[in-house]
Structure 1
Amino acid sequence: MLHKTGSRAVEAEGLTTQQWAVLGALSREKAQGGMSIGDLAKYLMVSRQNLSGLISRMERDGHVAVTPDGRDRRSRLVSMTASGQHVWHVLAQPKIMAYYEDVLGDFSINDVTHTLHYLLKMVDNMQRLDAQWVGGGNEAQEET
């Protein structure tokens, strides 16, 4: 539902929820010099493979630029272009904020606080499971 309804909120700008997540990550002060694809994947908690196609489409659309990392030539940095900044700050942000206001409109501050707490707890549990699977602790994964 988040993908479906969130994408509708920004579809006029040609964005999906995945693209808005990338632009949001790149808009942070910490990412002003760009982010490596690996760091961006880790931050968004997605695979590099899934992110690669998304970044290619966003580069084609002019929202991001991919350049070699000056510190490590094997790594590439993703940064927001001027067009991406305009789409993010001017076009998408007001719609995203309105979307969140609609979704959370009947939540009290207490409701939001508890929801965030439990969602973060779920993420921690999923990261713990992921670490176990990556470490070889899941027989089901070994069969695939």
Structure 2
Amino acid sequence: MTDSPAKHSVLRPSDSRQSDPARFDVANRVFFRLYQCANLMHKVGARFIGDFNSTTQQWAVLGALARPEPREHGMTVKDLIAFLLVSRQNITPVLDRLEARGWIERIKDAEDGRSRRIVLTTAGDLAWSEMQIAIDAFYREALEGLDLDEQVVLYRLLDRLKARLNTL
């Protein structure tokens, strides 16, 4: 047995491996701000698509399915979970509601009859097209004050953070 802690053990304030207080404070503010932004994105984003009686989770699923490759072939639930970074428990009720609205359909996978693929229906494609006007307005208003270069920098920084988090 070694004296080294588990990979994800909780560090105590007295632990000598903790970063310096200034770095911790900045990191704490960054992650708290991301948490706040995520919550606000859902809250405010839902208002923008309120006319569609839809949620931001449904918006995310429709957007994922509307990309060129999934639009043509659909996505497995497993692929959708991996793309959206959600759990099966979170995605299943969203898919059930979208299917009940006639916006998606679960079809047999041509290559694996035991598996199902999620595809946009014609009604789902139409709803997505109409939603994009409200989504565009949300994006424009949310990002107002950030020029295009700043938006690209933000995107790249968030992408790097996401990639790093994916390795933990």
- What is the TM-score when the length of structure 2 is the normalising length? 0.73
Larger Cα Rg: Structure 1 or Structure 2? 2
Measure the CA separation in 1 of the matches of 2:143 and 2:118: 32
Give the secondary-structure state (helix, strand or coil) at the position aligned to 1:67: strand
Q: What's the CA shift for 1:93?
A: 0.3
Match of 1:35 in 2: 75
Q: CA RMSD in A?
A: 1.0
Q: Which runs of 4+ in 1 moved over 4 A?
A: none
Deviations 1:55-114 (A, max 9, x none): 01110111100112121122111000111111101x200110011000111101221122
Percent identical pairs in the alignment equals 34
Taking structure 1 as the reference length, what is the TM-score of the superposition? 0.85
Out of 8, 11, 20, which is 2:59 matched to?
20
The residue that corresponds to 1:104 in the other structure is 143
Are 1:66 and 2:106 an aligned pair?
Answer: yes
Long gaps (5+) in structure 2: 1-39
The gaps in structure 1 that reach 5 residues or longer are: 130-144
Q: Distance in 2 between matches of 1:34 and 1:105?
A: 34
SS of alignment partner, residue 46 of structure 1: coil
- Structure 2 distance, partners of 1:10, 1:106, is 22
